[in-house]
Every structure is written in structure tokens, then in C-alpha cells.
């Protein structure tokens, strides 16, 4: 992939939300880590499927906190959220756009978000790094790439035009309901970001044994 594609621009960035079921006594990330360390293997977390951001993001959390929490994959986020509300699983790491309404309605308990800064949708909710796991970050993103070998002048022109789109109010309005924010930047910045993400998540996938169904 790294040899076959030419990065043009990162279009959006987003984050996940770590939530606990109301049937638990877990009210913070520190509560979660403390309980998990005292009760290894007794907590379950739902994901929307094997290899999804919620799966590998939670595996990163486990690796950084030294905890043993059991993964329960679902076929989609809605089913996992339903079982979180019903108390069948205790935890979930899910996209902010799909789980935030349930947090605001009090159906599940929001613990933290996974980005470098707090989300505007839940400004009172800390990031995981703020809440007790320094350095933790798990973002979602998308961008535009082209076939490798695309002439440099065309790469530069596409990047400039797409950055105009990313900077427009209309684009921000379109992606906000998806829990995303505009990104933008140079092709080189996007290339370096892809490389860092590949290294970071490749290591977690290898260590956790995560596989796509």
C-alpha cells in the first residue's frame, strides 16, 4: 500500500468514546483501571466487530494500562450498545456520533474520549490521557490518496483544491453529524501521519492478535 499510493490530503479526524454500563460502579477511567487490575478477566467490552477502531483502540488501552479485559465482538455498533445498556457487557469504545446520544440521555456512562483534545459534543468529558492514561490517543480519520507516480504538479493542485473544501463551513457542517472534524494539511504531513498510524496500530494488532472477520 505504501508503495502503491500517493497521499494527497487528510480530510477529517474523529475520535471514540469510552463508556461504561450503568449496571457497573465504574465512574471514571481510574475506577476502570483499578477494578480491572483487581479483577483480571472479569470485565467484558463490546466492539462493533473484530479489527474495528473500537477493538484495536481498546487493545491499546489494555496494553497501556496493563489490564485484562475480555473482548466481545458484535456485528455492528448498535448491537453492542444495546447490550451495554442491558448490562450484558460492562464497557465499550465506540464512535462518538453513535454513542454520544446514549451518554447524554443517561442510558450509558461516558468515561472519556480518545482524541488529543476534548470533543465539543461533550466538553465536560475528559480525554483518556487527561483521565489517567498519559499519552493515550486513538483517532479515526479519512483522506484522499491517488495512484503512486502521479505527477507532482497534479498532487500539489489536488491538495490545494481539497484544502479549500476542508476549510469551508459547508464541509464542517456535513461532517459534524458524523462525529468528525475537518483536518487538511500538506501531502507530506498526510504521508507522515499514515506512516505513524501504520507503525502504531500494526504493533497493537500483532501484540493483541486482532483479526478481521
- Is there a contact between 94 and 80 (Cβ–Cβ < 8 Å)? yes
Distance CA 83, CA 161 (A): 44
Residue 127: DSSP 8-state: B
**pTM for this structure?**
0.87
CA–CA dist 23, 182 (Å, integer): 36
DSSP letter at 117 equals S
Q: What is the pLDDT along the chain (213 residues), one digit of tens a residue?
A: 457 899 999 999 999 999 999 999 999 999 999 999 999 999 999 999 998 999 999 999 999 999 999 999 999 999 999 999 999 999 999 999 899 999 999 999 999 999 999 988 889 999 999 999 999 999 999 999 999 999 999 999 999 999 999 999 999 999 888 888 999 999 999 999 999 998 888 888 887 666 666
25 within a domain of the structure (yes/no): yes
Q: Which residues touch 174 (CB under 8 Å, ≥6 apart)?
A: none
- Residue 27 resides in a domain: yes
Three cell numbers written together for 33: 483501571
Number of H helices, E strands in the chain: 7, 7
By C-alpha distance, which of 57, 47, 118, 59 is closest to 83?
A: 47
Task: Domain count for the chain, please give it.
Answer: 1
Here the CATH number for the domain that contains residue 85 is 3.40.190.10
**194 in a structural domain:** no
The answer to whether position 2 is within a domain reads: no
- pLDDT at res. 138: 95
pLDDT at 185 (0 to 100): 97
pLDDT at 17: 96
Q: How many residues does the chain have?
A: 213
User: Hey, what's the cell of 153?
Assistant: 504538479
In a domain, residue 139? The reply is no
Q: Is 135 a member of any domain?
A: no
Q: Is 77 domain-assigned?
A: yes
All three cell numbers of 170, joined, read 459547508
Q: How many angstroms separate the CA atoms of 207 and 210, rounded?
A: 8
User: Are 56 and 145 a contacting pair, CB within 8 Å?
Assistant: no
- Which domain covers residue 95, as residue numbers? 19-102
Q: Is residue 97 part of a domain?
A: yes
Amino acid at each position: 500500500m505504501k508503495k502503491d499510493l500517493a497521499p494527497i490530503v487528510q480530510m477529517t479526524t474523529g475520535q471514540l468514546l469510552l463508556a461504561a454500563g450503568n449496571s457497573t460502579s465504574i465512574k471514571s477511567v481510574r475506577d476502570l483501571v483499578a477494578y480491572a487490575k483487581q479483577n483480571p478477566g472479569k470485565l467484558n467490552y463490546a466492539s462493533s466487530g473484530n479489527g474495528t477502531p473500537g477493538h484495536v483502540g481498546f487493545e491499546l488501552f489494555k496494553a497501556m494500562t496493563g489490564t485484562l479485559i475480555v473482548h466481545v465482538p458484535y456485528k455492528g455498533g448498535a448491537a453492542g450498545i444495546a447490550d451495554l445498556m442491558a448490562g450484558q457487557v460492562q464497557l465499550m469504545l465506540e464512535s462518538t456520533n453513535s454513542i454520544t446520544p446514549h451518554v447524554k440521555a443517561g442510558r450509558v456512562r461516558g468515561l472519556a474520549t480518545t482524541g488529543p483534545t476534548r470533543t465539543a459534543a461533550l466538553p465536560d468529558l475528559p480525554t483518556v490521557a487527561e483521565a489517567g492514561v498519559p499519552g493515550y490517543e486513538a483517532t479515526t480519520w479519512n483522506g484522499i490518496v491517488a495512484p503512486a507516480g502521479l505527477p507532482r504538479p497534479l498532487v500539489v493542485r489536488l491538495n490545494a483544491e481539497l484544502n479549500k473544501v476542508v476549510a469551508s463551513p459547508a464541509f464542517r457542517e456535513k461532517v459534524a453529524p458524523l462525529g468528525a472534524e475537518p483536518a487538511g494539511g500538506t501531502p507530506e504531513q498526510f504521508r507522515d501521519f499514515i506512516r505513524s498510524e501504520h507503525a502504531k496500530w500494526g504493533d497493537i494488532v500483532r501484540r493483541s492478535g486482532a483479526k478481521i472477520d
